[in-house]
Amino acid sequence: MKAIAGGKGTIEGLKGFGTTYDSKSFVSFFNKEGKIPAQNFTPPGPGSSIIPTSEMSNIKLNGHSIGRNQLYAEHQANLIMKDGAVTVGVGRETKNDVLYSDARDLPNEPGKVGNIHTHPVSEDASISFNRNGLSDSGSFGGGPSPADRDESYRPENTSGTVVVDSKNIYILTRGKQIVIPTK
């Protein structure tokens, strides 16, 4: 497909080419919700227990010391179809956890076609910290997780699911992925 209007296509100009996604609303959602400090950290893996970030000290992310207020929480929102484009709705959900939120807890909303959530890190990350005098560590991946990919298959997500981080927007639709740089 040729670029529309010399690469300066508008949402109105793109509507005839299939599903139109309002990527500006996705970036705006990340900028507003993606830097809210987490209250919990649930390490990846079965049987993991929730760790309040208030009990964590000497936190290092990828070997760099950070404060508790630099561990950000995942946030969810509905995606809705509005004026012919998929955009961020008003329904919100968070568990205030670095690695966990649940789209099934989003409220229903007119025009709902999917969901979006933030990822606090944009690349694979390792974390280490002290808690109650003991050291702990773990790692987690950047980009969409297997659970994010599974989410795109839920029947109510007719326009898929979106993951947004500081570098990319990932649009996931039933086994397909589109990556859009945010800058």
pLDDT at residue number 14: 52
Q: In what order do the strands lie in the sheet with 134-140?
A: 64-65, 56-61, 125-131, 134-140
Q: pLDDT tens across 45-55, in order?
A: 777 789 999 99
Instruction: Please check the confidence at residue 4 and state whether its pLDDT lies above 50.
Output: no
Cα four-point dihedral sign 92, 95, 99, 103: negative
pLDDT at residue number 1: 37
Q: pLDDT tens across 119-162, in order?
A: 989 999 999 999 999 999 888 888 999 999 999 999 999 999 99
- Picking from 72, 46, 47, the residue whose alpha carbon sits closest to that of residue 59 is 72
Average pLDDT, the chain: 88
Other beta carbons less than 10 A from residue 59's beta carbon: 19
- Tell me if 41 sits within 8 A of 56, measured CB to CB: yes
Question: Could you give the CA distance from residue 163 to residue 119 in angstroms, rounded to a whole number?
Answer: 7
Residues 6+ away with beta carbon under 8 Å from 8 = none
- Tell me if 133 sits within 8 A of 86, measured CB to CB: no
- Picking from 100, 177, 102, 169, the residue whose alpha carbon sits closest to that of residue 91 is 102
Backbone angles phi, psi at 108, to 5 degrees: -70, 155
Cα four-point dihedral sign 144, 28, 42, 109: negative
- Picking from 56, 38, 28, 23, the residue whose alpha carbon sits closest to that of residue 120 is 38
Q: Which element (helix H / strand E) includes 11?
A: helix 11-14
pLDDT at residue number 46: 77
Other beta carbons less than 10 A from residue 18's beta carbon: 7
Q: pLDDT tens across 143-152, in order?
A: 999 999 999 9
Tell me the Ramachandran region of residue 137: left when phi exceeds 0, alpha when psi lies from -120 to 50, beta otherwise.
beta
